[in-house]
Structure 1
Amino acid sequence: MILLKNVLKKYKTASGSLTAVQDANLTIGKGEIFGIIGYSGAGKSTMIRLLNGLEKPTSGTVQVSGYDISTIKGKELRQARQKISMIFQHFNLLWSRTVEENIAFPLEIAGVGKEARQKRVSELVEMVGLKGREKAYPSQLSGGQKQRVGIARALANNPEVLLCDEATSALDPETTDAILDLLLDINEKLGITVVLITHEMHVIRKICHRVAVMEAGQIVEQGNVLEVFQSPKADITKKFVSQVTESAEHKESISQMLDDPNSQLIQLTFVGKKAEQPVISHLIRTFDVDVNIVHGNISATKSGPYGTLIVRIAGNEENINKAIQYLDGEDVKSEVIQHAN
């Protein structure tokens, strides 16, 4: 469905050449929800512009829905864009048009007749949960409702790919979850491929199948979301994962325990069914150790539950080591948190 091969994008600036994307390689399958995460300046926005043909790569190949976006232009590019739609952070609605008129706009451009337009608009209004708000103007809508209009408009021409550029960044957490649920529902019902650009790991965790992490124009890590959560490799990925697995409260609790010489602080990572099994209870019954839970968190991902647990295990060194070996044997990833220097 989407293929990026050895993609390089450079811009000429007054001070010289700027590399926005470097040696990018991605394969995104049909019907997949794929997340691209990175902080400002990572190259995410350039990446999404490469996917819809607003930018051409300096070198490399960009293929989307059977089109070589990196080379086509004119009429062929316009045809390709009929299959590639987009929703934006700040909605980009036409303020002088009602909800239904905004949704109908791309159909008008495509030359769809009035009766067919009305039928399609009614279907989309129902799909995105805006029944009864058809005659409202954008100024009369909440942020979440505006984004629902943007999503409906993006779906008007039955695209195969939906690009989401920081689509929830302007929304509060509750509304963000509702919009993500809507995107997930659309993906499952229509089989549409969704590419999400974001700087929020919560967005990735909630609905994405796979993720690519970008830093300084490069893809530094990519893979199944659950696997990336379980074993983040790049420092930037670890920072993103900590957004949804750590809190200021548990960091404070940890700092108060680091100087205890008779115990070890250990972070445990559970994935899949292991997150639902009584591993800690068995450890306490089997080994002569005391276990104090400092912090725990279980998150749902598209691939299954992911849980982290910070525990303080107290006892003699031999028993603590046996307990850790037991955890390793149960496929529970354990990491000893070093004492502060």
Structure 2
Amino acid sequence: MISIKELTKVFHTKDQDVTAVDHLDLNIQSGEIYGVIGYSGAGKSTFIRLLNRLEDPTSGSVTIDKQEITSMNKNDLRLARQEIGMIFQHFNLLWSRTVKDNIAFPLEIAKMPKEKREARVKELVELVGLKGRENAYPSQLSGGQKQRVGIARALANKPKVLLCDEATSALDPETTDSILDLLVDINEKLGLTIILITHEMHVIRKICHRVAVMENGKVVEQGDVLDVFLHPKRPVTKKFVDQVMGDPDQDHSLDLIHENYKSGKVLRLHFVGESTNQALISELSREFKIDLNILHGKITQTQKGAYGTLFVHVEGDQDEIERAQAYIQDTSVEVEVIPNVQ
């Protein structure tokens, strides 16, 4: 669907050249929600503006649905942009226009007949949950409602791709979740390909299928969200994963474990996907002559499934404990023995 090859953007200033995007390669599949995450200055906002040529690249290519965006003339680009919607952090609404007139604006530019335009606006108002607010002005709307107008406007021309540049950064957590739920709903109903730029791993965790991590203009890590969460390789990725999986109580819990449990074993169990629904603790209690005590745990949900960690203390005959441990290892649950608990 989207092929990005050797994409580079260098900004030339009086004093120096700044490489914002550095020979970036990505392939994004049709119908997926693809997240791009990075800290401020990583180049992610420049990258997304290169996709629809709000910024012209220094070199490299962007191909969307077999059309090379980077080689188009102005007239062809104007037509191609009708198939690429975009929503922004600060909404970019026309403050003198009502909700329905904001949504209708791109349809007016496309010279759609009034009757068809009004029908399309009505359809979009219902899709984004703004029925009854059609005649309100942006100043009368909450932040979440403003972003819903922005989403509806971006969808007006029935685009194949929706670009989201920090679309939830200006919203509170509850409103953020409602907008993310809306994006998932749109993705599923319309089969729309969504590329989402963010610095919040919570956003990636909640709705994205795959993710690319940017640092200094480069993609330093990419893959399925669940795989990246489970096995982050680069320090910057580990920092992002800690945003949602970091547990400030875990180190304290481990200290207490080392202090209070001098016999038996403490096991750290890693659950992934379907294994999070497995009644493993009950099975172990029934199958083996051991005592189990749950010490600490956390489970997190992603689009590709759940994953989590559970600490358990196991007491009993050493051979029986080892048999129970082998039983766990034969399941899809990973097991790790916490050292210094003997």
The Cα shift of 1:289 comes to: 5.7
Q: Where does 1:165-176 land on structure 2 (aligned, <5 Å)?
A: 165-176=165-176
Structure 2 residue identity aligned to 1:124:
L
Question: Which residue of the partner structure matches residue 280 of structure 1?
Answer: 281
Question: Which residue of the partner structure matches residue 226 of structure 2?
Answer: 226
Q: 1:46 & 1:317 partners in 2: Cα distance?
A: 58
Q: 2:185 & 2:333 partners in 1: Cα distance?
A: 32
Asked whether 1:67 is paired with 2:79, we answer no
CA separation of 1:49/1:336 partners in 2, compared to 1, >3 Å: closer, same or farther?
Answer: farther
Percentage identity across paired residues of the two chains: 60
The Cα shift of 1:33 comes to: 0.9
Alignment length (residue pairs): 340
CA separation of 1:289/1:10 partners in 2, compared to 1, >3 Å: closer, same or farther?
Answer: farther
Question: Which residue of the partner structure matches residue 300 of structure 2?
Answer: 299
Q: Where does 1:147-226 land on structure 2 (aligned, <5 Å)?
A: 147-226=147-226
**Higher deviation after alignment, 130-139 or 318-327:** 318-327
The Cα shift of 1:59 comes to: 2.5
Contact 1:226–1:303 (8 Å) recurs in 2: yes
Structure 2 residue identity aligned to 1:281:
S
Q: Secondary structure at the match of 1:116?
A: helix
The Cα shift of 1:140 comes to: 0.7
**Higher deviation after alignment, 16-25 or 103-112:** 16-25
The Cα shift of 1:220 comes to: 1.7
Q: 2:327 & 2:206 partners in 1: Cα distance?
A: 31
Q: Secondary structure at the match of 2:148?
A: helix
The Cα shift of 1:167 comes to: 0.8
Q: RMSD between aligned alpha carbons?
A: 2.5
Deviations 1:289-319 (A, max 9, x none): 6544333222332222222223445678877
Question: Which residue of the partner structure matches residue 50 of structure 1?
Answer: 50
**Higher deviation after alignment, 192-201 or 242-251:** 242-251
Consecutive unaligned residues in structure 2, runs of 5 or more: none
Question: Which residue of the partner structure matches residue 246 of structure 2?
Answer: 246
Consecutive unaligned residues in structure 1, runs of 5 or more: none
CA separation of 1:102/1:60 partners in 2, compared to 1, >3 Å: closer, same or farther?
Answer: same
Structure 2 residue identity aligned to 1:5:
K
Structure 2 residue identity aligned to 1:109:
I
Contact 1:300–1:306 (8 Å) recurs in 2: yes
The Cα shift of 1:151 comes to: 0.4
Instruction: Report the TM-score when normalising by structure 2.
Output: 0.90
Question: Which residue of the partner structure matches residue 91 of structure 1?
Answer: 91
Asked whether 1:3 is paired with 2:7, we answer no
Q: Secondary structure at the match of 1:91?
A: coil
**Higher deviation after alignment, 109-118 or 6-15:** 6-15
Q: Secondary structure at the match of 1:181?
A: helix
CA separation of 1:201/1:263 partners in 2, compared to 1, >3 Å: closer, same or farther?
Answer: farther
Structure 1 residue identity aligned to 2:334:
K
